[in-house]
């Protein structure tokens, strides 16, 4: 019988934290040992999130480094800056970390400081951290002590562009990603822009001059292309709770390429990437609550522009589900454990 893995979750009161609880509650090898929240200390998780009744009877506790150090793995679903402050002590005691903030995504500490306005606290761990996109870094994730879980936009955009850049069939200097995300991506905190009255019946772009996810996408795709890329990345907020679509445009440099065959070949055997049949379009509701990225590749009018449609659930493949996928790799579990469920519909 496989041994039980004792897990801690730091910051279990947000949307991402509650998704981690939902997914890990059905993981046959996981026992959630520590669940932290300063504000909700002493309160049961299923009182804050009634959907967890019958699945999680754990109570929140104030963060305690000693209690976390007794875990085998710790997930950080916290604001930027928290994971890096605790990481060295935990890793030093043999704990594996999966950070859902941006603390371990960007390899260059100077780039991190530029985008997040504070100095990185442990550049030595940043240097060894693995970017948690299994479709690129599966083998490195298996051996990792620290995984920086990708952002939601970078997941959708990277999976859309990956086959094109690997095969060198597009102009890497003129890529465009037009992306839309549901309001849950803004987090559970009270913010004017994500209130119902502000977000409903509305569509707005943001971060046009520069979004924090841009350097993350550029870092990973430049490494794939083994050259600098040029990417225009424009995010938008749409009035729905879950879901994200990235519509990605690129100029073909090899007009004779079989795009459908290229995508099907690249993602054959990938458990959480579904390439749709030619001529179809994915919908965000087809991935709601699932860890799947659905892709469709088009060549409008047979011209020299390729359009890739990429949809994910921003809270699952874009956050908690991908973190569990990485956890499975790190602890030699079947990669699909606790994630092999169809999407919710309608």
Catalytic sites, residue numbers: 152
DSSP E strands in 145-290: the ranges are 146-148, 175-181, 204-205, 231-237, 244-251, 273-275
Question: What is d(CA 213, CA 207) in angstroms, rounded to the nearest whole number?
Answer: 10
Q: Are 185 and 179 in contact (CB under 8 A)?
A: no
Q: Are 293 and 161 in contact (CB under 8 A)?
A: no
Distance of CA 214 to the CA centre of its chain: 14
Sequence-separated (6 or more) residues with CB below 8 Å from residue 321? 19, 23, 272, 290, 291, 313, 315, 339
Question: What is d(CA 320, CA 292) in angstroms, rounded to the nearest whole number?
Answer: 12
Question: What is d(CA 326, CA 333) in angstroms, rounded to the nearest whole number?
Answer: 10
Question: What is d(CA 152, CA 166) in angstroms, rounded to the nearest whole number?
Answer: 21
Instruction: Find tokens 């997040």 and name the residue.
Output: 116
Question: What is d(CA 283, CA 156) in angstroms, rounded to the nearest whole number?
Answer: 13
Structure tokens at 234: 């424009």
């Amino acid at each position: 019988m496989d041994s039980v893995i004792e897990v801690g979750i730091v910051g279990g009161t947000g949307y991402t934290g509650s998704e981690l609880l939902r997914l890990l509650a059905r993981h046959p090898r996981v026992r959630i040992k520590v669940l932290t929240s300063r504000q909700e200390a002493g309160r049961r998780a299923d009182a804050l999130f009634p959907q967890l009744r019958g699945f999680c009877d754990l109570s929140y506790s104030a963060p305690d480094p000693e209690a976390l150090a007794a875990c085998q793995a710790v997930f950080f679903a916290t604001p930027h800056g928290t994971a890096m402050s605790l990481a060295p002590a935990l890793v030093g005691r043999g704990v594996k970390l999966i950070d859902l903030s941006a603390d371990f995504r960007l390899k260059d500490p100077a780039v991190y400081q530029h985008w997040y306005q504070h100095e990185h606290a442990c550049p030595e761990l940043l240097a060894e951290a693995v970017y948690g996109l299994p479709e690129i870094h599966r083998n490195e994730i298996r051996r990792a002590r620290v995984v920086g879980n990708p952002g939601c936009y970078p997941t959708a955009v990277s999976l859309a562009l990956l086959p094109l850049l690997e095969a060198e069939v597009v102009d890497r200097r003129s890529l465009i990603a037009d992306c839309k995300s549901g309001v849950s991506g803004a987090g559970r905190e009270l913010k004017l822009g994500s209130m119902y009255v502000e977000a409903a019946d509305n569509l707005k772009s943001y971060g046009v001059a520069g979004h924090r996810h841009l350097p993350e996408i550029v870092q990973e795709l430049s490494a794939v292309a083994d050259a600098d890329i040029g990417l225009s990345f424009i995010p938008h907020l749409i009035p729905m709770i879950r879901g994200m679509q990235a519509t990605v445009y690129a100029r073909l440099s090899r007009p004779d390429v079989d795009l459908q065959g290229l995508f099907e070949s690249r993602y054959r055997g990938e458990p959480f990437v579904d390439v749709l049949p030619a001529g179809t379009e994915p919908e965000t509701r087809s991935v709601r609550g699932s860890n799947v990225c659905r892709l469709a590749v088009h060549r409008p009018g047979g011209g020299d522009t390729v359009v890739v449609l990429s949809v994910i659930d921003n809270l699952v493949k874009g956050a908690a589900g991908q973190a569990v996928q990485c956890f499975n790799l790190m602890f030699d579990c079947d990669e699909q454990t606790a994630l092999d469920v169809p999407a919710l519909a309608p």
